[in-house]
Amino acid sequence: MDDDPFSGYRWLLGYMGEGNLVVDGGHGGGLRGIGVHDRSGAWFAQRTWHWRDWPTELLAKRKRRIGARVSVVIPARDEERTVGKVVRSVRVALLERVGLVDEIVVIDSDSADGTAAAAKEAGATVYEARDIAPELGTYPGKGEALWKSLLVTSGDLLVFVDADLTLWGPHFVTGVLGPDRKSVV
């Protein structure tokens, strides 16, 4: 019998490639990683990607080859300060430069500020959630914005991005699209 309670385990960081998630570098005196059983680690290694694994140009080329449309949906409520930057980043990098994204749709959920105007000015198509299928009722909030977006978008693939992101980039979109092997890749 093995006295080592961690027999069969490897540190998660041993399975992670360069540039991937680092849980704890060990500088804080705590764990230097997360203990993961060999089988779990193998499963994780086969299903873990980094956005750099999916070059934007490659995704755009494959999207065109299969004839898919990609919609980026941004649910928003009182995000005037940040929504424009999010829309502009996606529009410039993924719609205008490479054609990976076909439409950017902001679903505004009863904002009291200038969220809708900021999103339009940045280049998004904006819908008020309450105006989409009003016969189905209104349930203000992110959930309503997400499901109602299905009724107004034209994409075969939808990528949801938060409107309040400040430390982010368009690679959030490619990082979601890339691993979907049945569609774009």
Q: Which domains does the chain have, with CATH numbers?
A: 9-48 (no CATH), 55-177 (3.90.550.10)
> For residues 166 and 82, is the Cβ–Cβ distance under 8 A?
yes
**Residue-level pLDDT at 36:** 62
Kindly provide the b/e burial profile for residues 159-182, where b requires at least 16 CB atoms within 10 angstroms of the residue's own CB.
Answer: bbbebebeeeebbbbbbbbbeeee
Helix axes 80-90, 115-122, angle to 10 degrees: 20
**Residue-level pLDDT at 180:** 65
Per-position pLDDT tens, the chain of length 185 = 445 444 443 333 333 333 433 333 333 444 445 566 677 777 777 777 777 777 899 899 989 998 989 999 999 999 999 999 999 999 999 999 999 999 999 999 999 999 999 999 999 999 999 999 999 998 888 999 999 999 999 999 899 999 988 888 888 888 888 876 544 44
- Alpha-helical (H) ranges within the chain are 38-46, 56-66, 80-90, 115-122, 142-149, 171-177
**Residue-level pLDDT at 154:** 93
> What pTM value is reported for the model?
0.74
- Alpha-helical (H) ranges within 1-141 are 38-46, 56-66, 80-90, 115-122
